[in-house]
Amino acid sequence: MSADNTIVIGKFGDKYRVAHVQAAENLEWEGIDSPYARDNQYWTFLDAPEFDSVWDATELAFKWVKETEEDGGYVEYGVHETDFGYEFPSAPPPEPNWN
């Protein structure tokens, strides 16, 4: 059975946020800068732990992989880092037109 999950280290400006994500392709849906992708990025990383160091973010990501496996699950696509190319916003992006 597919877990379709990954741990994403999102680089936003000079900060890193870590999230355990299903369907990570939605973070880049219709292009990494599309309104749809930006909306997904915001809500996925809103409450995610934030770090100044990629090393600290990576340490947490692999800790989560280990904990998931110890609980009988698995992280199908492992850990990866994505540079989103902007500072994490303090407010949600404009609502995309879903129609």
pLDDT digits (tens, 9 = 90+) for 59-77: 999 999 999 999 999 999 9
pLDDT digits (tens, 9 = 90+) for 7-19: 999 999 999 999 9
Of 98 and 34, the structure prediction assigns the larger pLDDT to 34
Q: What are the domain boundaries of the chain?
A: 5-83
Please state whether beta strands 15-22 and 5-12 pair in parallel, antiparallel, or not at all (unpaired): antiparallel
Q: How many Å apart are CA 40 and CA 25, to the nearest integer?
A: 10
